[in-house]
Each structure stands twice: as structure tokens, then as C-alpha cells.
Structure 1
């Protein structure tokens, strides 16, 4: 997986790329550097990732859940040194909103740690409980006609609720596979080590609810372009490195 990750980062295949302005201390001076932090929509364009995500890992989650699952979306988080964390959130509300009533309703996230996960490098943190649609946290309602990656995205947990939740650090070795459903609150902190903390997060849904992998990315591209048009920006170009960094509803939180 580390080899496959390096191939993606070196631009060996098509992928949607996100960047973050990261502050680093060099020679006693604080510098800001634009750094690749996330890749999406690459599984269908890379043989190795395709076989892993549509094959091996899909079979694992299917056996674990007792029904055939299909890949809904993929996200490779690189979290380089100084990379920020993600605010507390649920996955299902935003995943459902992307496709509306025509899309799947049930989601399972499969995380595979590529590097060792530690408290200092911003490991995944989960609030453990018997979470379900009928037993879940309240989330912040998205802004009408907002950005699908920011105010218009559902799933963010209000701070006053997040403060009452107990999050457990998932410290583990690279190669560890973790499954959790779309209603489990999770978050992470910043990476304060000099090494990256890479992990892939794959979302699967039951095959009985439909196969939406391609349609999901087409839909998100449409929503993003519509929003950019509203605020006077050009249509989003895939892999365009000088694209603006839209503030995400699940964006940076302090290192704590």
C-alpha cells in the first residue's frame, strides 16, 4: 500500500487532489508551504488500487457484514508533518446528501492505516457505542446553497455535543484494518511529528442498495461546479493544482 500511495502522489494516475497550506519551521523562520494532503476518485484509474479496493478489501467488509458490499467512495489522507486534523463528524449525513433520495442509505467505512498511527501523528479517534440512525448525535444543518465541501455539507457535530463525547485514540500499526458505520462520531488531531500519517478511508454500501461509485463523483463534480459558478469562479478542473482551498466543514481543529 505504501508503494501504491507513492505512485498516486507522484501523479502516476488520475485523481482528485486537495491541498493545504501548512506552516513549517525552517532555520528559525516560520514558512507556509502548499502541500498535497488528500486524494480521491482514483481507484478506477489505477490497477493496484482497483484490485485492492474493489477486490480484497471489498470481500473483507462483505464477510464482516454478512452481505455483498460495493465501493461508494475512496479517500487517501496523507496528513504530512504539520497537517491539520478533522473536526468531530458523522459520515452518513453528508454521504446521503450527495446522492439524495436516489442513493444508498447504509454505509460502512473501512480504514486501513498505511503508516503506524499514534496520538502524536493525529491518529483516528472514535467515540465507541452502539451507534445507528436511531441512536446518533445531532449534527449541524448545512447552509442552503452552500459549498458541498463546507457550509453546505452535512455531518459536522456541534461543539457543545462533541465536548460531551469520549473519543478513543485508535493507535495501531500500519496495515491495520478498522471498520465503523456511518453514524459513529470520529475526529482526529494535527500531526506534530516529522513524519506523515497516511491512511485510506473507503466507504462501502450494500450492493442491494445499488452501485453508485461513478455517479457519486459525477454528482459531487456537478455540485462543486454549480457552487463555484454562484461565487464567480471558473468550473473546477480535475487535478488543477492552483485550485483554491475551500474551507471544509470537517476542517482543521487545534492540536489537542
Structure 2
């Protein structure tokens, strides 16, 4: 049986004083191992290093919501009207010309900054999705709030047809695209992985991306367990 241990002290400790990551719900720390004053009577919101450093849309906390809003659709992400990037996508021997990236209206400023650094030609690797699927998506899957940017064709014609073919290929192969940027990785997935109400834009499937910190060979999963 796997037991969750504290990432700081490495001990199981007392379950009642453990605080789990507010995002992935897998990693844990003891309250007395957190930075700052020890608080036992109030809810503590904490993110593990993997979730905290993943570059994507800013989560909306309860304190930021309006009590009068009750529908989940009121919080759904939408692509910003003006494209924040335009250029070409190259993968293997194929190139799709005339793509545009529209940021989600929920993204953090650091995503804006990273998008501004994207080159005119994105060189992508087509990989099995399981190799790049973020840990924070493994439990409940992504939602539209996780979208950093939407990829759309700039105009109808060969560009749109090539993008449609790529989407079909990525879906059937259970694959993903990875673009290594200056400070991060841009991971690109098909919209079919989102909740069904967010899988179509203008009645068509699309590609969406999220930024994640660059992975190094000695990095490990931050979920620490022992038998």
C-alpha cells in the first residue's frame, strides 16, 4: 500500500496535519513543515513545486469569485480576439503555414511574456501523449481553465486543411506536440481531451497549448511514496 510522505521531512507523520497540493492533490507537506507560522485551525492553500512552476492560466480562488455567479460556464476561458502570435508550425518533414495563437482570457502575465518570445517557426516533436501529460492533469483531466493558448488557422485553404489533418493524426495516435521555447516547453493537445462542452470551436476540434517548465534528465515526480 502506498503511503504519502511529507516532501520536506520525508516522514509519514500524522494524517490530520498533512496539507495536500491544492492542484494535483497528490503531494503533501506537514503543516509544521510549511514556511511561515504554523496554522492548525484554518485552511491552508499550498501548491507543490511541480504545479507551482507549471506555467499556465491563473487558478481562480474562492475569494476572487462573485457569490452571484453560480454557473460554471460563467468562468469558462475564451480566446482573446486578437492573435498574440502568428507563424508556422514544423514537425518532422511537415510544415503548416499561417497559424495563429490566441491567448486565453484567463492566463497569467508570465504566459503573455512567454508567448511574446515564440519564434516565427515553431519546431515541434510529435510524441506519445503519455510522455508529456502534466501530472496535474492525471487525476481529473484538464478543463478549459487550463488552456494557455488556442491554435487556429490564419485563413481558409491549405492551412486549414493541414491543421485539420494534424488534429486527426494527434487524436488517433494519442499523441501530443512539444515545442521547446526559450524558458519553457509548449505542450499542445487536441480539444477532445477537454470536457465535452469545450471540445469544439466554430463546430470544429482544435489544438490548445499549455506552457510548462523545461524538464531535465534528473527531475523526478514530486509525488513521494513508500510501500
Which TM-score applies when normalising by structure 2? Answer: 0.29
Larger RCO (alpha carbons 8 Å, 6+ apart): 1
Which TM-score applies when normalising by structure 1? Answer: 0.27
